[in-house]
């Protein structure tokens, strides 16, 4: 008998001389182990090794086998033959070793037989047949002590040679079968059967590798065959009987390669899971930094899979599969929220991570190349429009914005002319002083489309230093600007205007709150601010006469300090858009937009002319509603989408203007910057850099990114409002203004102290415009859930 070596390992077997279950031996690559195990047979031989393996028919054969090994194998063969003789008496072997009965003839199911059956798609159990259940089904008692009725097609194997088996002994039977199972034995049988091109049943395999067809050995062989995914494949099946054939060597080699790869991947996964569990158990201040998960490629890929799964942005099935395996190994359900919580628990994500920021893949940093180009622009002191600039440094200039504004791109001046009319100057930061169309900085700004403003951070359209130091207006410093000057008629309409390159020196940097306070104080030395307020009133009246619709309401503004902390500080402000200072600035920005549209139309300049047709809104139908948020909410519901024309102005019904161009935020909005490019070119006598068609193509990209930025802002703002409400006392009361009824007594309301719209069931008697008291029942920012309940005060 030749000793066979597979995968550089020799495999041997023997049968015990006792009547109990045979002892199984598999010897692999260890001479000492080999000698120690064989000493049980009182056979002595020196240690040997196979020096070289060469291909053989159906497998690999040893190139040198010592005669002593042959004698050992002969002794083992003799033991095997003796065992076979005893076994043959039980299973009626022919002289050639074949089974007399047809290999696929099913055994008749009888009481007391031991059988294997499919409990469900994933579980296979052993059971003892108890009694028939109807015509075909049988009642069985399984290894868990559960009695159930099974169908014949559920039976996967009937253990031969068993009568009146006690179901209490099934567990021990299963355990012994598991102990006897060894893939090395299966590998040996595969080599031999492949060489002889033979098929095999479970019982024949048991006789072959164990030298026995006892029930335990047969079942053990069945389990190894049915669970094997490498060496054997099912050729035929009839009921509970199957015939298996050895796979081709090439196929086995490939399956082994896959198996080894799978085992390596499973080991890698377990090591990664241990890292996750370790990080999860660490205190918050001791968790590994985010960067540490990005060092090794294999770890980085797994973390990225979890991240993509958490934001529902997996780019391929591998990412989904990897994330699912990790979550399952961690004992977690396969959901996006589970992946998110895991990444938070290991410290990779902060508690309040902005998922939308990740989902939209929003640019938060500028590349080194763009930053370097921006710094070069800052260092260049050349101003191509220096000669053409009007010196307006003698004017008192007010820059009014929110207190945390980083990019200041507009400011105002005013005076009263001798004839009593008001002259206004709207100064807009001249961003084109630094950036030109087609430059690397310009292209990056176009890709972004707009600055992104969130409660936690601002991600500027231009590199921060260029935007906030170079382009922005600075108090007390000479600043380059494009100034729109307007003289108003007494009714608020435009009498005359001009658009010029200018140089200004901002006098005051005011917040809306401080500007409103100055207006209220009516100081003599701030006459110019009072004139601006008067002009704003005139403009508002005039626009309403032209059909403008007032949409002023209450809006929340939030600033989050240290957003990476689990409990960051949340500063909440509620802005009333009817506030005098806010109205003042709004009216002046609208006035600037009207002038630029008129200027562009008069000079045939392609510009992004914005419009909003509102031909069917009868505002008088809403006169019964309280002015302010309630009426504004009703009117907004009827408004149509805005439109843009790049060749000529179109009416803007909401603003009550014949034409309008956004022009006052070139540092924050790319569409405003495009308008600057076009107007600036005309001012110096050049053709506009872009045609109407080119503007339209660029606008489609820019507006798409602007919509994403708007959605980011809205979702982030709502998240932090809900987080603010979640932290408040459950007993706290909030004033709520009823805006309208959605269905029955469910009303859309505006939380006055918070500036958030929501819904709540209100009691009978409450009507649109009424104010009710509510409290927060539940607030879950991550799930975007807010439950309010009305507080009914007994009278």
User: What sign for the dihedral angle of Cα 716, 719, 725, 727?
Assistant: negative
Reported in sequence order, the residue ranges of 549-671 that DSSP labels E, i.e. its strands, are 554-561, 569-576, 609-611, 643-645
Q: pTM to 2 decimals?
A: 0.75
Residue 97 has pLDDT above 60, yes or no: no
- Cα–Cα distance measured from residue 104 to residue 239, given in angstroms and rounded to the nearest whole number: 8
Could you tell me the pLDDT band of residue 44, with boundaries at 50, 70 and 90? very low
Could you tell me the pLDDT band of residue 86, with boundaries at 50, 70 and 90? very low
Could you tell me the pLDDT band of residue 618, with boundaries at 50, 70 and 90? confident
Q: What is the dihedral of CA 552, 558, 559, 565, to 10 degrees?
A: -170
- Cα–Cα distance measured from residue 671 to residue 695, given in angstroms and rounded to the nearest whole number: 9
Could you tell me the pLDDT band of residue 569, with boundaries at 50, 70 and 90? very high
What residue ranges define each of the domains in the chain, with the CATH number in brackets? Answer: 113-250 (no CATH), 260-349 (no CATH), 368-714 (no CATH), 728-790 (2.40.50.140)
Q: What is the pLDDT of residue 377?
A: 94
- Cα–Cα distance measured from residue 571 to residue 721, given in angstroms and rounded to the nearest whole number: 10
What region, left, alpha or beta, does residue 323 occupy, with left being phi > 0 and alpha being psi -120 to 50 degrees? alpha
**DSSP class of 587:** H
Cα radius of gyration (the chain): 42
Give the mean pLDDT of the chain.
Answer: 86
Which H/E stretch holds residue 699? helix 692-727
Q: What is the pLDDT of residue 105?
A: 66
* Mean predicted confidence (pLDDT) in 49-78: 41
- Cα–Cα distance measured from residue 243 to residue 245, given in angstroms and rounded to the nearest whole number: 7
| Structure tokens, 372 | 């370097």
Answer for the pair 170, 156: CB distance below 8 angstroms, yes or no.
Answer: no
What region, left, alpha or beta, does residue 744 occupy, with left being phi > 0 and alpha being psi -120 to 50 degrees? left
* Higher pLDDT pick, 394 / 122: 394
Answer for the pair 490, 497: CB distance below 8 angstroms, yes or no.
Answer: no
Could you tell me the pLDDT band of residue 619, with boundaries at 50, 70 and 90? confident
Answer for the pair 402, 647: CB distance below 8 angstroms, yes or no.
Answer: no
Angle separating helix axes 202-210 and 183-196, nearest 10 degrees: 110
SS (H, E, C) 107-158: CCCCCCCEEEEECCCCCEEEEEEEEEECCCEEEEEECCCCEEEECHHHEEEE
Which of 43-52, 402-411, 434-443, 519-528 is predicted least confidently? 43-52
* Mean predicted confidence (pLDDT) in 617-623: 79
Q: What is the pLDDT of residue 566?
A: 92
Strands 241-246 and 9-10: unpaired
* Residue that the structure tokens 């240690």 belong to: 47
Q: What is the pLDDT of residue 663?
A: 98
DSSP string computed for 257-293? HHHHHHHHHHHHHHHHHHHHHHHHHS-GGGSPPGGGG
- Cα–Cα distance measured from residue 299 to residue 361, given in angstroms and rounded to the nearest whole number: 21
- Cα–Cα distance measured from residue 762 to residue 196, given in angstroms and rounded to the nearest whole number: 85
Answer for the pair 757, 792: CB distance below 8 angstroms, yes or no.
Answer: no
| Share above pLDDT 70 across residues of the chain, in percent, rounded to a whole number | 86
Answer for the pair 632, 665: CB distance below 8 angstroms, yes or no.
Answer: no
Residue 591 has pLDDT above 50, yes or no: yes
- Cα–Cα distance measured from residue 362 to residue 711, given in angstroms and rounded to the nearest whole number: 12
* Mean predicted confidence (pLDDT) in 310-337: 94
Strands 422-429 and 452-453: unpaired
Could you tell me the pLDDT band of residue 25, with boundaries at 50, 70 and 90? very low
Could you tell me the pLDDT band of residue 228, with boundaries at 50, 70 and 90? very high
Could you tell me the pLDDT band of residue 338, with boundaries at 50, 70 and 90? very high
Decide: residue 465, CB within 10 A, 0-12 exposed, 13-18 middle, 19+ buried. middle
Closest of 56, 310, 50, 297 to residue 191, by C-alpha: 56
* Higher pLDDT pick, 592 / 87: 592
User: What sign for the dihedral angle of Cα 682, 684, 685, 689?
Assistant: negative
């Amino acid at each position: 008998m030749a000793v066979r070596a597979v995968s550089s390992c020799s495999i041997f077997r023997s049968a015990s001389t006792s009547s109990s279950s045979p002892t199984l031996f598999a010897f692999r690559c260890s001479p000492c182990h080999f000698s120690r195990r064989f000493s049980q047979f009182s056979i002595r031989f020196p240690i040997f090794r196979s020096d070289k393996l060469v291909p053989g028919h159906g497998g690999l054969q040893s190139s040198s086998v010592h005669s002593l090994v042959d004698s050992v194998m002969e002794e083992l063969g003799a033991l095997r033959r003796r065992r076979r003789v005893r076994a043959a008496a039980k299973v009626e072997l022919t002289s050639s070793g074949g089974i007399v009965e047809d290999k696929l003839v099913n055994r008749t199911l009888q009481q007391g037989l031991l059988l294997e059956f499919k409990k469900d798609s994933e579980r296979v159990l052993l059971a003892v047949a108890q009694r028939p259940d109807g015509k075909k089904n049988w009642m069985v008692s399984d290894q868990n002590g559960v009695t159930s009725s099974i169908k014949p097609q559920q039976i996967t194997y009937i253990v031969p040679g068993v009568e009146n088996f006690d179901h209490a002994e099934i567990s021990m039977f299963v355990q012994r079968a598991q102990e006897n199972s060894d893939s090395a034995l299966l590998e040996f049988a595969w080599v031999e059967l492949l060489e002889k091109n033979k098929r095999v049943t479970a019982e024949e395999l048991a006789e072959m590798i164990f030298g026995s067809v006892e029930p335990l050995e047969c079942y053990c062989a069945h389990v190894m065959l049915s669970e094997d995914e490498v060496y054997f494949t099912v050729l035929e099946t009839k009921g509970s009987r199957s015939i298996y054939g050895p796979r081709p060597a090439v196929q086995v080699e490939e399956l082994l390669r896959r198996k080894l790869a799978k085992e390596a991947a499973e080991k890698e996964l377990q090591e990664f899971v241990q890292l996750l569990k370790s990080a999860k158990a660490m205190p918050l201040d001791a968790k590994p930094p985010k960067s540490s998960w990005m060092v090794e490629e294999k770890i980085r890929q797994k973390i990225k899979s979890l991240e993509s799964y958490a934001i529902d942005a997996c780019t391929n099935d591998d990412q989904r599969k990897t994330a699912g395996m990790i979550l399952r190994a961690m004992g977690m359900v396969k959901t996006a929220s589970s992946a998110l919580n895991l990444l938070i628990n290991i410290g990779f994500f902060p508690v309040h991570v902005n998922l939308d920021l990740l989902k939209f893949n929003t640019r938060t940093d500028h590349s080194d190349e763009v930053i370097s180009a921006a710094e070069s622009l800052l260092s260049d002191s050349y101003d191509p429009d220096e000669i053409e600039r009007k010196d307006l440094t003698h004017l008192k200039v007010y820059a009014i914005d929110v207190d945390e504004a980083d990019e200041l791109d507009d400011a105002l001046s005013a005076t009263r002319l001798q004839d009593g009319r008001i002259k206004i100057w709207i100064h807009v930061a001249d961003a084109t002083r630094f950036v030109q169309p087609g430059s690397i900085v310009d292209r990056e700004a176009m890709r972004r489309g707009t600055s992104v403003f969130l409660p936690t951070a601002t991600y500027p359209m231009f590199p921060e230093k260029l935007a906030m130091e170079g382009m922005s207006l600075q108090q007390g410093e000479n600043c380059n600007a494009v100034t729109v000057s307007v003289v108003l008629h007494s009714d608020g309409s435009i009498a005359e205007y001009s658009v010029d390159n200018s140089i200004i020196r901002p006098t005051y940097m005011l917040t809306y709150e401080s500007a409103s306070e100055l207006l209220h104080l009516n100081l003599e030395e701030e006459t110019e601010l009072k004139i601006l307020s008067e002009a704003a009133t005139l403009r508002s009246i005039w626009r309403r006469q032209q059909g403008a619709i007032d949409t002023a309401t209450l809006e929340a503004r939030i600033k989050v300090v240290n957003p990476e902390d689990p409990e960051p500080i949340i500063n909440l402000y509620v802005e009333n858009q009817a506030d005098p200072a806010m109205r003042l600035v709004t009216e002046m920005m609208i006035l600037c937009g009207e002038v630029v549209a008129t200027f562009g139309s008069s000079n045939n300049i392609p510009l992004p002319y914005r419009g909003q047709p509102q031909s069917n809104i009868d505002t008088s139908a809403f006169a019964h509603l309280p002015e302010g948020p309630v009426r504004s909410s009703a009117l907004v519901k009827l408004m149509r989408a805005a439109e843009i024309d790049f060749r000529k102005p179109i009416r803007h019904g909401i603003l009550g203007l014949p034409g309008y161009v956004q022009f006052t935020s070139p540092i924050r909005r790319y569409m405003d910057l495009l308008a600057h490019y076009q107007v600036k070119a005309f001012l110096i006598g050049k053709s506009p850099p872009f045609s109407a068609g080119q503007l339209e193509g660029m606008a489609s990209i820019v507006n798409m990114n602007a919509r994403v930025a708007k959605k980011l802002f809205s979702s982030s703002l709502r998240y932090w409002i809900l987080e603010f409400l979640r932290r408040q006392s459950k007993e706290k009361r909030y004033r709520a203004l009823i805006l309208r009824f959605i269905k029955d007594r469910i009303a859309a309301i505006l939380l006055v102290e918070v500036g958030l719209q929501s819904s709540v069931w209100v009691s009978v008697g409450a009507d649109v415009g009424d104010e009710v008291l509510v409290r927060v029942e539940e607030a879950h920012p991550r799930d975007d859930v807010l439950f309010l309940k009305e507080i009914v005060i007994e009278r």
